[in-house]
Chains A and B, each alone.
Chain A
Amino acid sequence: MTQLSGSVDLEIHGNTAHLILNRPEKLNAMTVKMDEEINSYIYEINNNLEIRSVVLYGKGEKGFCAGSDLTDLGDYGTNWEYRNRFDRNLDYARAIWLIKKPVVAAVHGWVVGGGLEMTCASDIRIGTPDSKFLAGEIRWGWHGGSGQTQLLTHTVGPGNANLFLLHGEKVEADAALRMGLIQEIVPREDVLKRAIEIAESIAEKAPIAAQMTKHMVRMAQSIPLEVGLLYENDSFSYCMTTEDAAEGQRAFAEKRKPQFKGR
């Protein structure tokens, strides 16, 4: 495998995991090695009960992520092997999608290609005035393969998605906010702080209810509404059997803050 710089780092701060794209000199362009690293963290994030939410961000001034490092695509193997990367736990946007805990993305500067796919695979997205979003694949002769045509369409609607996907030019932060691609715009120096604030607030909620909520919002995007309403009621009923729901009711009656344990 080609020797290229960069890493994806996992840090755990309290009940929040930080996933950090760490290749600032190359706009955090993802190499196969970084792809392997991010995938290697997913089991830990999903199964460590101490982790209740996730923040995703990229290091450096220029941007969140430029997507795949096109000079390293060969390391994914033949066309058929590259097509089958999901089955080998080797797709970085898919890795974000597979996280069961709520993910807050803090994005700034360039958010391109696979970087945009990771953003769309997150649950809440905070941007900066200088954020620029681009699904540039079409300019090189393909479309994204890890959610670009599907997740972006669910995120911003078909007309906006087609603008991204077919036009292939950058969309600025204010337009992205209008489309719902990002939920807030905050100054560059505050974006990580704001994402952490949201993630830590989520981490204070009952973990089972928070994770179920994420799951049901996903369901709302992929199943018929009538089934979703029935499923929601069953998952609500399950939540009400948990110790945390009992604690929530007690705390409400006693006018104090509930202490949740994830049980």
Chain B
Amino acid sequence: MKLPQFPAEFKFSLNNKVATITLNRPEKLNTMTPDMGKALLELVPYINGNDDIRVVILTGSGSKAFSAGSDVKVLDQYGSNWQLRNRVDYARGIWAIRKPVIAKIRGYCIGGGLEMALMGDIRYAADNAQFGAGEIKLGWHGGAGNTQLLPRVLSTGKALEMLLTGDLISAQKAEQYGLVDQLLTDAELDAAVENLAARIADNAPIAAELAKHLVRVSQSTAIDIGLQYENDTFAYCFTTEDSNEGRQAFVEKRKPSFKGK
């Protein structure tokens, strides 16, 4: 599959099995336009179909913002209200990535930016990060996951505090709430995310992708079903070449080398 074309507001790179998506509109707090959303949506099947990609990092250009969500000034570009309702949403694009996604967050992470971060799997943030579901201040609530994902990541009370006030919370508070998985200084953040991505990329891709999948399943299905599903994918893992390699490496006391097969 060929790499799709992107607008300049959007950067993509691939290094050592780690893909990085950078929202590149720093002068506008990396707010998303419909064009950027479309580019992201076109990138997703490429990422899912490229065996060289094992982990994805999602981040914003500059230190002022991860993303402040949709550019409210260009919302009309979505068309009629019904077309807006039927949009192909950028945050859903992040959700559709099958491989583990790490959100690397500096500065504002607001509205649709918060939704993209929540659709990711692990969130690392710099201490200048600020988080908010600010839609309510404008007269609506988030439409791509804020009301559904915040209460799964935070407690319902904390989620509603954010959803109903629309106020920003600090990186420190976000870490207490469990919204940020690791809080770092600005200087530490890049290396920490790189290190995390490399550690995940070293593991067996099929097992890693299934682990992500099963954690999703645990949030949306009854526990008895989830436990049975888990056991079937566990059994599937043992049909892979990588599981043989893992067992052999364990016996031979060496580091396994996984191929995603």
Interface residues of A (CB under 8 A from B): 43, 46-47, 49, 78, 80-81, 84, 87-89, 100, 208, 242, 262-263
Contacts and interface: CB of A to CB of B under 8 A. Distances in A.
13 contacts: A43-B88, A49-B83, A80-B260, A80-B261, A84-B48, A87-B45, A87-B96, A88-B1, A88-B45, A89-B45, A100-B86, A242-B82, A262-B82
B157 interface: no
Most buried by B among A46, A49, A78, A87: A87
A47 B86 contact: yes
A84 B51 CA distance: 11
A100 B98 CA distance: 23
A88 B49 contact: yes
Contacts of B1: 88
Contacts of B261: 78, 80
B86 A46 contact: yes
Given A78-B261, A88-B48, A89-B45, A208 B82 contact: yes
Given A87-B48, A88-B49, A263-B80, A80 B86 contact: no
A257 B176 CA distance: 60
Contacts of B80: 263
Nearest to B239: A79
A84 B98 contact: yes
Contacts, number: 31
Contacts of B206: 80
Contacts of B96: 87
A89 B45 CA distance: 7
A80 B237 CA distance: 10
A141 B240 CA distance: 19
Interface centre among B1, B48, B98 (most CB of A within 10 A): B48
A47 B86 CA distance: 8
A263 B82 contact: yes
A87 B49 contact: yes
A174 B213 CA distance: 41
Nearest to B206: A80
A47 B84 CA distance: 11
Interface of B: 1, 44-45, 48-49, 51, 80, 82-83, 86, 88, 96, 98, 206, 240, 260-261
A231 B204 CA distance: 41
Contacts of A88: 1, 45, 48-49
Instruction: Tell me what chain B mostly uses at the interface: helix, strand, loop, or mixed.
Output: loop
Nearest to A46: B86
A208 to B, nearest CB: 5
B101 to A, nearest CB: 13
A124 B49 CA distance: 33
A43 to B, nearest CB: 8
Q: Shortest 3 CB-CB distances between A and B: which pairs? A: A87-B48, A88-B49, A87-B98
Given A87-B44, A208-B82, 15 more contacts: A46-B86, A47-B86, A80-B206, A80-B240, A80-B261, A84-B48, A84-B98, A87-B45, A87-B49, A87-B96, A88-B1, A88-B48, A89-B45, A242-B82, A263-B80
B13 to A, nearest CB: 21
Contacts of A242: 82
Contacts of A78: 261
Contacts of B88: 43
A239 B88 CA distance: 21
Residue of A49, A88, A263 with highest tally of chain B CB at under 10 A: A88
A47 B83 CA distance: 8
A59 B96 CA distance: 34
Nearest to B97: A87
Contacts of B98: 84, 87
Nearest to B1: A88
B252 to A, nearest CB: 25
A97 B83 CA distance: 20
Contacts of B51: 81
Contacts of A43: 88
A47 to B, nearest CB: 7
Contacts of B45: 87-89
A172 B221 CA distance: 36
Most chain A CB within a 10 A radius of its CB, from B51, B82, B88, B98:
B82
A208 B82 CA distance: 7
A84 B260 CA distance: 13
A210 to B, nearest CB: 12
A144 to B, nearest CB: 16
Contacts of B82: 208, 242, 262-263
Nearest to B87: A47
